[in-house]
Amino acid sequence: MKENDGKATRKTILQQLVIALLATSIVVVTVKRFGESNWHASSLRDEHNRADDTESKAAVANLADITAAEREGGNAAAVSPPAPVGDKTLVKFVFSNLDGEVGKEGEVIVRLKPEWAPLGVKRIQELTETKFWDECRAFRVLPRFVVQLGINGDPSVQKLWRGKFLEDDPVKASNTRGTVTFATAGPGSRTTQIFFNTVNNSRLDNDFVPFGEVESGMDVIDRVYSGYKGTVDQGNLQSLGNMYLKKNFPKLSYIKTAIFISG
């Protein structure tokens, strides 16, 4: 009986050991699988996050490309590049307030003549490039004589040019109808004031040098308002600008824009 009891005891112990080993194996396998499952889930999340990040970067890159395209293509379509203007000797002036009436406009094309007055033409080109002529009123209009303008409506702008005197160009052309000439206050005093000859003014040739001539639009020049004649005070115009003119001389015709054109 004792021997059998010993065998039974040993058998029981072996069974318990086997069960314990099996249980331990099951736990190890479960833990391993659980860990592997978590690693794969983490890996998928990382991959997903990396994919999202890549997509976001691609989206930003695409937006940047669209922005560049809009800058290069879209804006170019909205704002067309200026047409070539060659040697900048053809200027289109748009006059407004013709006949003293709001809304009446007309174009005047002036051909600059460097061979007549190289210094004068250079100054006109500078003034045109800087939009000096915009809103300049024809403040002195004497029928069958001249249409004079060239004092900027902004006193601060006019002040910049007031002391920039030009040396005189020698006289090479006559002040015939349609020619355009600098006004002067004596030798070496040309700055920004010009006049259109509306008749043949050859008597001016000794002192006033034409720099260009009207190619088209003399009918527009003939409609520049002349009702005030020469009553505008140039001192007030220099110091107060268009504020003075609009209040006291509202019918004055003026240059709306002046640009170089090809031709």
Place of tokens 């174009």: 107
Tokens of 211: 């720099």
Whether the full predicted model's pTM is greater than 0.85, yes or no, is no
Cα–Cα distance, 196 to 40 (Å, whole number): 88
- Nearest Cα to 68, choosing from 78, 56, 79, 76? 76
Tens of pLDDT, residues 211-252: 999 999 999 999 999 999 999 999 999 999 999 999 999 999
Run of H or E residues at 235: helix 234-240
Question: Which CATH superfamily, name and number, covers 90-260?
Answer: Cyclophilin-like (2.40.100.10)
Tokens of 182: 């600098």
Kindly tell me the burial class for residue 251, based on how many C-beta atoms sit within 10 Å of its own C-beta (0-12, 13-18, 19 or more). middle
Mean of the per-residue pLDDT values of the chain: 79
Contact 253, 224 (CB under 8 A): yes
Tens of pLDDT, residues 179-199: 999 999 999 999 999 999 999
- Nearest Cα to 220, choosing from 193, 255, 244, 186? 255
Annotated domain spans of the chain: 1-81, 90-260
Tens of pLDDT, residues 141-184: 999 999 999 999 999 999 999 999 999 999 999 999 999 999 99
Whether residue 67 is predicted with pLDDT greater than 50 in this model: the reply is no
Which amino acid type is present at position 90?
Answer: L
pLDDT band at 54 (very low <50, low <70, confident <90, very high): very low
Beta-bridge mates of residue 166: 190
What end-to-end distance do the CA atoms of the chain give, in Å? Answer: 133
Cα–Cα distance, 222 to 210 (Å, whole number): 19
Which amino acid type is present at position 169?
Answer: D
